[in-house]
Amino acid sequence: MQAAIKAEVYFFTHEPYRVVTKNKKIKWILDNTVIVRDENGEIVNFVGYLTDITELKEKELELENLARIDQLTKINNRLYLDEVLMQQYYRFNRYSEECSIVLIDIDYFKAVNDEYGHLVGDKILIEFAALLQKSIRTDDIVGRWGGEEFLIVLPHTYLDKAAFLAEKLCKIVAEHEFSVVGHKTASFGVATFVHGMSVEQCVDMADAALYEAKESGRNMVKVAKQA
């Protein structure tokens, strides 16, 4: 309101906000206000009207959620992970806020599809995603990178700590008994943001480390060689 008065406008719309009703329900409100002035331009009154936009806002939030969620595993999708990576990359360059990433690939996943069929393969992906989700820290962000690959973004995390967390996850996966197929393992590639290096180059480093883990026998963690 103060900004509207300073700008000498006669009408303004507040950003949508939430209110709690007497029966404890949450409603989204659109708040419009008219600033009434006299012939001398002095403010004499404010006339406002509120519109309940709860249904519209819930639909909007639902669509936003659909856009960021992988529809099979119900964790974050590649599009959202790309956004998170760019946000963290900005914070790293602007505030020197450390960030590491872990790229994960389920070992011999093609064999699962070949032997048990794609429905079982999908079930394993869902279970694997849920296992990762419940095993990471609160601030970590996990998502499906593509196929049987997953990516975890670790804010405020140095490379050695990221490697330690990846080792922990590697052990958790190996000890877990999945539906139908029993035990499965995964390979992990770890990298961290480096000044002068793009997000894509950081992901490439994690991918190279992951490839090294698979070439070295799988079911292990490899850390990217820093430039």
Q: Chunked in runs of 10, what are the mean pLDDT values of the chain (227 residues)?
A: 81 90 92 88 88 88 83 94 96 95 97 96 97 96 97 97 97 97 97 95 97 97 86
What pLDDT score does 227 carry? Answer: 57
3-state secondary structure at position 76 = strand
Structure tokens at 51: 């519109």
pLDDT score at 13: 87
The greatest distance separating any two alpha carbons of the chain, rounded to the nearest whole angstrom, comes to 83
Closest CA to 50 of 11, 14, 4, 26: 14
Catalytic status, residue 39 = no
pLDDT score recorded for residue 120: 96
Any long-range contacts for 15-24 (C-beta under 8 Å, 24+ apart)? 16/53, 16/57
Which burial class, exposed, middle or buried, applies to 110 when counting CB atoms under 10 A from its CB (0-12, 13-18, 19+)? exposed
Kindly report the pTM of this predicted structure.
0.77
Q: Could you give the domains of the chain?
A: 2-61 (2.10.70.100), 70-223 (3.30.70.270)
Task: Write down the pLDDT at residue 212.
Answer: 97
| Catalytic residue selected from 148, 149, 167, 200 | 148
